[in-house]
Structure 1
Amino acid sequence: MLSFAAAPAVSGEPAIGWSFLLPGGYHEGEAPVHPGASWLARVPVGKRWELLPAKIRSTRVEDTISDEPGQRTGVAIASSRKNAQALLRMPYLTPGPLEVTDNDTGENGALIEADSPVDIRFKGVDFRIGTKNKRVFLVKGAQRTPSRN
């Protein structure tokens, strides 16, 4: 599970936490055993994407890589929403339609690989997403997201 503190919505407020999961199997410690409430699922609706409220199920399963027969240290994450591709929880994120890039990246989207940035167009503006030193960055014109150590 990716879980980070994001910038506060109001200056002086504490940072807000967010979580991101993909449905599927995880090793112990990579996904919550008790994911809690307030999740949104990114799901296809017709020819667009939407964030819809979802219940997340977490089940202990045998980790085929590290478990002995009969052990169940792995975690399987599933959504109550059929065809959910991503599961998100963030305090200011709300359900509804998503605006997506102008690019046709195919069914699985564009893959970001080391030293091979992806150029996208969103609302008529060009962006570049890339990696350097195992960190992801976003570039818009002369602006670039800061690196975090």
Structure 2
Amino acid sequence: MTYRIYPEQPWTDCSDEADASSVVTSCRRSSGSAPDPALRSFLIAAAFVPVAAASAEPPPGGWQLLVPGVYHGDEAPARPGPGWLALLPVGGVWRLEPAMVRATRVHDPLLDAEGDKTGIALSSSRSGAIVLLKVPGIGPGKVDTPAMKFGEGPKPVSAGGVPLKVRFKADEYVIEGSAHGIHVRNGAAGTLLPGVSAGGPDSDDSASLLWAGDLDRDGRLDLLFSYSGYNRGGVCLYLSSGADAGAQVRLTACHGGVGC
């Protein structure tokens, strides 16, 4: 798996460009913030995959989660459109702030011939955003979080490892890895998280708690997990609203890349 740091670029005033080598949407003037250069991107591919300039088909329900970074052309939207919210820390609290998202065609070093640009670089007008969301029912504003220091990095969850205990409001959530996956419990009720696997000594898969808080503002904990493995990596969002009876959360959306 290959990671690249997204280069800092100025924002410019523009509209959708006709040039297929540089598709840019939702731009603004250069007085705004540049993309956070510390955000990692997933640019991962198999060498035998044919080159294609098409952008990704939106998942069922449309794009709801994006992670800033550089992707193959079929792993991200070429035109993200309006209505995105950036999740980021502001003055010691976490907030969802309206953001403009830009998708720029870039050279994919693993797939493109010289001069071709089939990759997509995603960035936003909000420096420091860890993810970008466009989920029905979730609006801008302050987001309640547990007393955890997310700035210290993701918290790994491994099979047989020490469980993570997260106190939020009057509840204590226990996040624990096993050979079967990652479980989230609140009292007797528990949920096995789809889409992620607990790390282990004999596994290429790993997952970490990236962030936790009340995104949908229903008083219960929502989760963001980063995952990686052989030929894949990304982030998954789990919301408490809409979860099945007895379940803590439901898988809402994932965004990442695949390849080698």
Query: TM-score, length-normalised on structure 2?
Result: 0.46
Regions of 4+ moved over 4 Å: 113-117, 130-137, 146-149
Residue 122 of structure 1 is matched in structure 2 by 168
Residue 89 of structure 1 is matched in structure 2 by 134
In structure 2, the residue corresponding to 1:145 is in which secondary structure? strand
Per-residue CA shift, 1:40-62, capped at 9, x if unaligned?
00122111110001110001111
Instruction: Give 1:136 deviation, angstroms.
Output: 5.0
Per-residue CA shift, 1:2-60, capped at 9, x if unaligned?
x876xxxxxxxxxx666111111112211111111110001221111100011100011
Residue 63 of structure 1 is matched in structure 2 by 108
**Which range is displaced more, 124-133 or 86-95?**
124-133
Q: Compute the RMSD of aligned alpha carbons.
A: 2.9
Q: Distance in 2 between matches of 1:109 and 1:41?
A: 18
One-letter amino acid of the structure 1 residue matched with residue 108 of structure 2: D
Per-residue CA shift, 1:67-116, capped at 9, x if unaligned?
22222121100101122221001110000011112233443232344554
Alignment identity in percent? Answer: 38
Q: Does the 8 A contact of 1:103 with 1:121 survive in 2? A: no
Instruction: Give 1:131 deviation, angstroms.
Output: 5.3
Residue 10 of structure 1 is matched in structure 2 by none
Alignment of 1:140 with 2:186, yes or no, is: yes
Q: Distance in 2 between matches of 1:147 and 1:107?
A: 23
Q: Does the 8 A contact of 1:21 with 1:87 survive in 2? A: yes
- Counting matched residue pairs gives 138
Q: Distance in 1 between matches of 2:80 and 2:98?
A: 14
Residue 67 of structure 2 is matched in structure 1 by 22
Q: Does the 8 A contact of 1:102 with 1:123 survive in 2? A: no
Per-residue CA shift, 1:102-147, capped at 9, x if unaligned?
2334432323445545332212422133556786542212112266
Residue 13 of structure 1 is matched in structure 2 by none
Q: Distance in 2 between matches of 1:145 and 1:65?
A: 38
Query: TM-score, length-normalised on structure 1?
Result: 0.75
Q: Does the 8 A contact of 1:54 with 1:81 survive in 2? A: yes
Q: 1:44 aligns with which of 63, 85, 89?
A: 89
Q: Distance in 2 between matches of 1:133 and 1:4?
A: 29
Q: Judging by fraction of residues, say which structure has more strand.
A: 1
Residue 216 of structure 2 is matched in structure 1 by none
One-letter amino acid of the structure 2 residue matched with residue 80 of structure 1: S
